[in-house]
Amino acid sequence: MYAQIAVPLPIDRTFTYSVPEEICGEIVIGMRVAVPFSGRQLNGYVVGLTEKKPPYPVKKIGNVLDPFPIFNEEMLQLNRWIADYYGCSWGEALKAASPPVVKKVRKEKGAVETDPGAKSSFLIPTSEQQEALQLIEKCLHNRSGVVLLHGVTGSGKTEVYLHAIARVLERGQQAIVLLPEISLTPQTVERFRSRFGERIALWHSRLSAGERYREWVRIREGKADIVIGARSAIFAPVKDLGLIVLDEEHETSYKQAETPKYHAREVALERARAAGAVVILGTATPSLESYFQAGRGNYKLAQLTRRVDDRVMPEVEIIDMRKELITRGNRSVFSFFLQQAIRETLERREQVILFLNRRGFSTFVLCRECGEVVRCKHCDVSLIYHSKTDRIHCHYCNCQQEKPQFCPECRSRKIGYLGVGTQKVENEVAKLFPQAILGRMDSDTMTRKGSHARMLNSFRKQEVDILIGTQMIAKGLDFPRVTLVGVVSADTALSLADFRAGERTFQLLTQVAGRTGRGDLGGKVIVQTYNPEHYSIQSARLHDYAGFYRQEIKFRQELGYPPFKHLINITLQSPNQDRLIKLAQSLGKLLEAGAEKGVEVLGPVPAPLPRLKSRWRWRIILKGNKVCQMREVVKESLTQLKGPASRGVKILLDIDPMGML
Ligand code: ADP
Ligand code: ZN
Ligand code: ZN
């Protein structure tokens, strides 16, 4: 017998191996096997078996690595689709979808601890929730359909998911719930656990290999029928998939940064289509892509326009920081208005969240004489001063160095520390409100296992008055005593070199604003900005998604950006700048020549981040209507490009990129 094996290397073909007599009986399509491959051992995937002898000599398969196939035909085909769409090999796609290889499984308690006494009952749906559920019900009955559940923060989307899942279980089917990694808070998981108990399985990157494997087996054996997890939970081996829920569908963390660079939403749509399952895309701020599809009738739109119990949306005040400095002479991080609001909130014994999407203390260090900014030796970015280490850090390559005593350019000793990060915010708040107890949540403070949950817990118990943090605190938190949210600067996302900057800003402000007014005490949001007229900020102020969408979609159409066109980012990187530029130019010419009508080639130009980890970076962008057509052009050009000139240059493809750096 002979086996077709897909290997996890960037080679888009399968390889034939012979199956040794002694394992002929146990080998099945969908298993992992060890195979010799140019002098080393690889874990390959059996994707075909045949008795036909190939006309060339073949090597033998080594060990079989699984007691049962880890992929059925449905999952093999789903991964074939990923390989085709995202331009990687079948083996690379399968690797990303695999459970860990585990030699011996120890019997430990499951990753999900349950307290059977804690089961809570279902709430009676509001009329808007009822309408959404009827729509979902109809789709479940037809075994097809995508529902975009557009509900303002606190409108009860999660409750809709819970009801919909209960219906799926009644039908004897299973459900997968995807959450952005950041939302996999104990709080969220607890809501699912208290409804469904031991029927849930958890799947995320913080599980150990053993825990992951055990959860995977539980799902496969049908012992769990609700899988809750981050991106890769989309590959959970459920038998009869009825529903996929993607919460916060607009989140960029659904796009994997490494090969295969898949978007969990696109994979979910494909898996559901093939399996006859329904997809719910839930969010308060739909991605332009999804809302556009709903507008065209390709998705069904369900809207939750009101918060539960008709709680009002928080009032949002925009503070023009230009005026703050010029007319009031205020150099503080905080406008007088925000300072006053914090003071009043603390006096009422209520809680405050302060949000800033930049960690560190000062976000750039510069010479006050000549203006030279201190940059990373390896990356073309400014270094960030951290007060904890009293050193300057690069947030891209993580290197650190002593803070400079004098300017490297002009030797002046007048070194300035400008720009504000979360450490500085904490510092300033401590000076202004010495009696308040502060907590900070960013990736510098949340390094230990469990620190995230611990901080949220003390905030809930009101042991902390003011919580300061990055986007880590923007989502999912539900604390009734938070009545003030201060956005220290709304401009961090706006300044990104990305066509989605406006969308990101609107989403972030809306999410952050949603953290207040969740109890009976009401809530207020104060947004500080140097761009008070920007439509993203104004629409967020008015809680006006439709208004934001109208402006943004116009801009996307005019410039031919998604959802009107697909993009492919081609990044070339190399330590050798001359070779890189030459190769980028050759590739640009090949692409131009190969591009059919409707495919546009932009560049080559230096990437927005022109140097990273000692590598220079250049960029070519393709714009077009059909990904398959665009990828074909890229494939042909890359084949022609191979040769000595391409040595030492890495070429990375990103189909439908979510970040443009
Ligand atoms: P979202 O996911 O849209 O932010 P949630 O589902 O978290 O909203 O709901 C917000 C709050 O309202 C939660 O405390 C939830 O328990 C409550 N809630 C949701 N639906 C109902 C309902 N039908 N009746 C009463 N309370 C509800
Ligand atoms: Zn200088
Ligand atoms: Zn660096």
CATH of residue 528's domain is: 3.40.50.300
CA of 407 to the centre of ligand 3 (A): 19
- Judged by its nearest atom, the ligand closest to the C-alpha of residue 394 is 3
For residue 113, the model assigns a pLDDT of 46
Which residue in this structure is represented by tokens 């980028």?
584
Cβ 123 under 6 angstroms from ligand 1? yes
Q: Looking at ligand 1, which residue's alpha carbon is closest to its atom 9? A: 156
How many angstroms separate the alpha carbon of residue 433 from the centre of ligand 1? 34
pLDDT category at 114 given cuts 50, 70, 90 is: very low
For the CA of 514, the nearest atom of ligand 1:
4
Mutate which of 150, 165, 308 for ligand 1 pocket (most atoms within 8 A of beta carbon): 308
Least confident of 149-163, 546-560, 591-605: 591-605
pLDDT tens digit string along 212-265?
899 999 999 999 999 999 999 999 999 999 999 999 999 999 999 999 999 999
Percent of the chain residues topping a pLDDT of 90: 75
* 547 in the same domain as 464: yes
- Cα of 530 vs centre of ligand 2, distance in Å, is 27
End-of-domain residue from the set 398, 418, 438: 418
Rounded CA separation 99/236 (Å)? 9
CA distance 294 to 302: 10
Which residue minimizes the CA distance to atom 25 of ligand 1? 123
DSSP 223-249: S--EEEESGGGGG---SSEEEEEEETT
Instruction: Kindly give the distance from the C-alpha atom of residue 561 to the centroid of ligand 1, in angstroms, as a whole number.
Output: 35
Nearest to 50 by CA among 42, 58, 38: 58
The response to whether residue 308 sits with its C-beta less than 6 Å from ligand 1 reads yes
CA dist 366 → 66, 189, 483, 611 (Å): 57, 45, 38, 20
Tell me the CA–centroid distance for residue 309 and ligand 1, in Å: 9
Scored b (16 or more CB within 10 A) or e, 339-360 reads bebbeebbeeebbbbbbbbbbb
* Same domain for 614 and 543: no
Give the phi and the psi of residue 480 in degrees, each rounded to 5. -65, -25
State the Cα–Cα distance between residues 323 and 270, nearest whole angstrom.
51
DSSP string over 121-177 = PPPPPPHHHHHHHHHHHHHHHHT--EEEEEE-TTSSHHHHHHHHHHHHHHTT-EEEE
Residue-level pLDDT at 182: 65
Dihedral pair phi/psi, residue 204, rounded to 5°: -155, 175
Q: What is the mean pLDDT of residues 113-125?
A: 65
**Statement to judge: residues 164 and 240 lie in one domain:** yes
Ligand 3 ion: residues within 5 Å (CB): 376, 378-379, 394, 396-397
Give the CATH number for residue 615.
3.30.70.600
Tens of pLDDT along 368-392? 999 999 999 999 899 999 999 999 9
134 with 249, same domain: the answer is: yes
Residue 195 CA, distance from chain mean position: 27
The rounded radius of gyration (Å) of the Cα atoms in the chain is 27
The secondary structure of residue 98, as a DSSP letter, is P
pLDDT at 4: 96
Could you tell me the end-to-end alpha-carbon distance of the chain, in angstroms, rounded to an integer? Answer: 48
**Residue 392 forms part of a structural domain:** yes
Nearest to 473 by CA among 435, 432, 431, 422: 422
Residues 291 and 317 in one domain: no
The answer to whether residue 43 sits within a structural domain is yes
Which ligand 1 atom sits closest to the C-alpha of 160? 6
Q: Specify the CATH number for the domain of residue 32.
A: 3.40.1440.60
Q: Which residue has the tokens 């979360």?
A: 422
Pocket of ligand 1 contains residue 126 by CB under 6 Å: yes
Q: Residues 472, 355: contact at Cβ < 8 Å?
A: no
**Per-residue pLDDT reduced to its tens digit, 264-280:** 999 999 999 999 999 99
Residues 464 and 522 both lie in one domain: yes
Q: Same domain, yes or no, for 251 and 187?
A: yes
* Higher pLDDT, residue 602 or 471: 602
How many whole angstroms separate alpha carbon 350 and alpha carbon 211?
40
Please, which residues have CB within 8 angstroms of residue 431's CB and are 6 or more apart in sequence? none
Looking at the 3D structure of the chain, how many domains does it have? 5
Residue 238 lies in a domain: yes
Cβ of 129 below 6 Å from ligand 1: yes
**Residue 106 confidence (pLDDT) above 70:** no
Q: Which domain holds residue 397?
A: 364-418
Flag whether pLDDT at 115 surpasses 50: no
Closest Cα to atom 17 of ligand 1: 156
User: Residue 119: pLDDT band by 50, 70, 90 thresholds?
Assistant: low
Q: Is 153 in the pocket of ligand 1 (CB under 6 A)?
A: yes
Residue found by looking up tokens 């007691």 in the block? 67
- Does the residue 110 lie in any domain? no
Q: Are 353 and 425 in contact (CB under 8 A)?
A: no
- Stretch 610-622: mean pLDDT: 95
State the CB neighbour count (10 A cutoff) for residue 29.
Answer: 16
Which ligand places an atom closest to the C-alpha of 415?
A: 2
Based on the domain organization, do 92 and 127 belong to the same domain? Answer: no
Query: Is 60 exceeded by the pLDDT of residue 110?
Result: no
In a domain, residue 586? The reply is: yes
Instruction: Tell me the pLDDT band of 454, cut-offs 50, 70 and 90.
Output: confident
Residue 106 lies in a domain: no
- When pLDDT is cut at 50, 70 and 90, the band that residue 117 belongs to is very low
Ligand index nearest the alpha carbon of residue 121:
1
Mapped to the 3 state alphabet, what secondary structure does 595-660 carry?
CCCCCEEEEEEEEEEEEECCEEEEEEEEEECCHHHHHHHHHHHHHHHCCHHHCCCEEEEEECCCCC
The ligand 1 atom nearest the CA atom of 155 = 3
Q: Decide: 159 in ligand 1 pocket, CB within 6 A.
A: yes
pLDDT at 111 over 70: no
Give the domain-ending residue among 534, 555, 576.
555
* pLDDT tier for residue 116 given thresholds of 50, 70 and 90: very low
Residues 84 and 152 in one domain: no
Asked if pLDDT for residue 344 goes beyond 70, the answer is yes
Q: Which ligand is nearest to the CA of 393?
A: 3
For residue 330 the two structure tokens come to: 């205020």
213 and 337 co-located in one domain: no
User: Cβ(511) to ligand 1 under 6 A?
Assistant: no
Mean residue pLDDT across the chain: 91
Q: How far apart are CA 401 and CA 386, in angstroms?
A: 11
Say whether both 188 and 246 belong to one domain.
yes
d(CA 272, CA 246): 12
Asked if 233 contacts 176 with a C-beta cutoff of 8 angstroms, the reply is yes
Q: Is 155 in the pocket of ligand 1 (CB under 6 A)?
A: yes
Secondary structure (3-state) at 21: helix
pLDDT of residue 456: 87
Amino acid 104: pLDDT: 60
Do 240 and 134 belong to one domain?
yes
Mean pLDDT of 290-308: 95
Domain C-terminal end among 555, 577, 604: 555
Is the CB of 552 inside a 6 Å radius of any atom of ligand 1?
A: no
Most confidently modeled range among 162-171, 510-519, 596-605: 162-171
Sign of torsion, CA 42 45 47 51?
Answer: positive
Domain assignment present for residue 107? The answer is: no
Q: Apex CA 527: angle with CA 522 and CA 529, to 5°?
A: 175
Query: Could you tell me the distance, in angstroms and rounded to a whole number, from the CA of residue 184 to the centre of ligand 1?
Result: 17
* Cβ within 8 Å of residue 313, ≥6 positions away: 152, 307, 513, 517, 543
Q: How far apart are CA 304 and CA 293, in angstroms?
A: 18
428: its two tokens: 């300033």
Please check whether residue 542 lies inside any domain of the structure: yes
pTM over 0.85: yes
